[in-house]
Amino acid sequence: MAITLINPEGLPEIDVYRQVAIASGSRMVFTAGQVAWDADGVTVGAGDLAAQVEQCYLNVATALAAAGATFADAVKLTAYVVDWTPDKMERFMEGVTRAAQKLGAAPAAPATLVGVQALDIPDHLVEIEAVAVVE
């Protein structure tokens, strides 16, 4: 199976991995975990979980779009949240809602939320990845 790795315009280029992998044949799309970076690699919403969740989902949408997919094609979403406690759910969902309003569609794929001790840098509070299937 052939795999195409891409760094879509609008997301920062990372030296050690690409933002999106496209597997031909079944057209499964796997995104790298998206953090709250803008296209220049600057953290959006430092200290603000809702703002970071929103940016993560917008970045996932950008990555999916580069592969010809949308959240409607997503089959699995995984979110990793630093120092997760259930009282953070309201702020998390606020970010999802804000992203959905901007995107015109709510991410509705099966999802997993995992509490973690830390992410790549201290400013990042959340990281979200997606798997999609495109016909």
Nearest partner of 61 among 11, 25, 95, 17, judged by Cα: 11
The per-residue pLDDT for 1 is 39
The per-residue pLDDT for 23 is 65
In tens, the pLDDT along 38-58 reads 999 999 999 999 999 999 999
Query: How would you classify the pairing of strands 111-116 and 3-6?
Result: unpaired
Per-residue pLDDT at 61 exceeds 60? yes
Instruction: Look over the chain and give the mean of its residue pLDDT values, rounded to a whole number.
Output: 92
Give the Cα separation of 131 and 129 in Å (integer). Answer: 7
Q: Are 40 and 135 in contact (CB under 8 A)?
A: no
The whole-number average pLDDT for the span 110-120 is 95
**Phi and psi (nearest 5°) for 123?**
-70, -20
In tens, the pLDDT along 14-39 reads 876 889 878 666 789 999 999 999 99
In tens, the pLDDT along 103-112 reads 998 777 889 9
